[in-house]
């Protein structure tokens, strides 16, 4: 079994040779903050996880794939060779599994009126549902700010030309919600040059249009209302595909 020091050296070599840019690689140490200092991004972290698993010859449990365990090379080596206390604490906080296993809680929440589905295909959240939604958004926003992300806000509409350039119109034209239409009404033709945003990230693309990004890239986060023409009021799982919903992205 590898020691923490041995794993550190393998990770350091891999990060310098495979993950970091040529300019940044020589400056990386085992204490370098991999995310905050933008050594790796959301794609490169997958390579890093795969390398750790291959080196240790075992799969990393999903519960251990959290930002705190991959903050630096030293952290990774300590956590995955010694069973760092942070992991044990994470496991101890996990709530006991419900007796129904993977049964959905949606029917009960609807019955308690903490969750309501409008005829137009939107959810109304109250009580614990609203608090839980706010908790998750606050948590993810905190992750983004830890990574050095800057926050943006966007309007509730987007040029159709932006969606066309991003490939949305060729891939999902049937899901577009034009301005003036309701998401619950099927619209397969586009009238006008603006529509409701189907995802928050589409707003961000014009920011970098026709520009060259540095090797360190850029991190941003935003939350907004999104609309898609995919709600089916007759579906048994109609709460899973909504006409409008709130999305947070990094």
pLDDT at residue number 146: 83
- C-beta atoms surrounding 15 within 10 Å: 24
pLDDT at residue number 67: 82
Average pLDDT of the segment spanning 7-18? 95
**173 Cβ contact list (under 8 Å, min separation 6):** 188, 190
Residue 183 pLDDT > 50: no
Per-residue tokens: 248? 């947070």
Q: Contact, 45 vs 60, CB < 8 A?
A: no
Q: What is the pTM of this model?
A: 0.59
Label residue 228 exposed, middle or buried (CB < 10 Å: 0-12, 13-18, 19+): buried
Tell me how far apart the alpha carbons of residues 132 and 7 are, in angstroms, rounded to a whole number.
38
Phi, psi dihedral angles at 249 (to 5 degrees): -130, 155
pLDDT at residue number 207: 86
Residue 112 gets which letter from DSSP? T
- C-alpha dist (Å) from residue 130 to 114, 144, 168: 8, 21, 30
Query: pLDDT for 122-157, tens place per residue?
Result: 999 999 899 999 999 999 998 888 888 889 999 999
pLDDT at residue number 181: 58
Average pLDDT of the segment spanning 46-72? 88
Average pLDDT of the segment spanning 52-64? 88
Greater model confidence, 51 or 95: 51
**Best-predicted range by mean pLDDT among 113-117, 171-175, 208-212?**
113-117
Phi, psi dihedral angles at 233 (to 5 degrees): -65, -20
DSSP letter string over 209-220? TT----TT---E
Greater model confidence, 140 or 215: 140
Query: pLDDT for 26-45, tens place per residue?
Result: 999 999 999 888 898 777 88
Domains of the chain: 4-93 (1.10.1200.10), 106-249 (3.30.930.10)
Minimum mean pLDDT among 3-12, 92-101, 160-169, 226-235: which range?
92-101
Per-residue tokens: 46? 């997958």
- For residue 159, the cross-strand partners are 194
Select from 241, 245, 158, 249 the least CA-distant residue to 200.
249
- How distant is the alpha carbon of residue 155 from its chain centre? 21
Residue 60 pLDDT > 90: no
- Mean per-residue pLDDT over the chain, rounded: 85
Upper half-sphere CA count for residue 181 (Cβ side, 13 Å): 22
Tell me how far apart the alpha carbons of residues 10 and 145 are, in angstroms, rounded to a whole number.
29
Tell me how far apart the alpha carbons of residues 142 and 248 are, in angstroms, rounded to a whole number.
12
- For residue 5, the cross-strand partners are none
Confidence of residue 212 (pLDDT cuts 50, 70, 90): confident
Query: pLDDT for 77-116, tens place per residue?
Result: 999 987 544 444 444 444 444 445 567 888 999 999 999 9
Residue 198 pLDDT > 90: yes
- 176-203-122-106 Cα dihedral, nearest 10 degrees: 110
């Amino acid at each position: 079994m590898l020691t923490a020091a041995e794993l550190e050296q393998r990770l350091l070599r891999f990060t310098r040779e495979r993950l970091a840019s040529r300019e940044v690689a020589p400056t990386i140490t085992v204490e370098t903050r991999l995310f905050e200092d933008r050594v790796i991004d959301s794609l490169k972290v997958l390579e890093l996880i795969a390398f750790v698993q291959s080196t240790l010859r075992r799969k990393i449990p999903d519960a251990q794939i959290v930002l705190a365990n991959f903050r630096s090379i030293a952290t990774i080596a300590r956590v995955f060779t010694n069973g760092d206390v942070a992991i044990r604490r994470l496991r101890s906080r996990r709530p006991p599994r419900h007796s129904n296993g993977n049964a959905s809680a949606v029917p009960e929440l609807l019955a308690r009126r903490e969750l309501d589905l409008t005829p137009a295909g939107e959810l109304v959240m109250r009580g614990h549902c609203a608090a839980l939604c706010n908790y998750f958004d606050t948590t993810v926003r905190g992750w983004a700010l830890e990574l050095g992300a800057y926050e943006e806000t966007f309007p509730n509409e987007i040029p159709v030309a932006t969606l066309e350039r991003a490939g949305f119109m060729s891939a999902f034209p049937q899901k577009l919600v034009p301005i003036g239409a309701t998401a619950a009404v099927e619209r397969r033709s586009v009238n006008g040059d603006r529509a409701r945003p189907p995802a928050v990230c589409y707003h961000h693309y014009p920011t970098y249009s026709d520009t060259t990004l540095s090797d360190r890239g850029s991190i941003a986060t935003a939350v907004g209302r999104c609309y898609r023409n995919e709600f089916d009021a007759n579906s048994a799982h109609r709460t899973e595909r909504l006409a409008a919903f709130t999305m947070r992205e990094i």
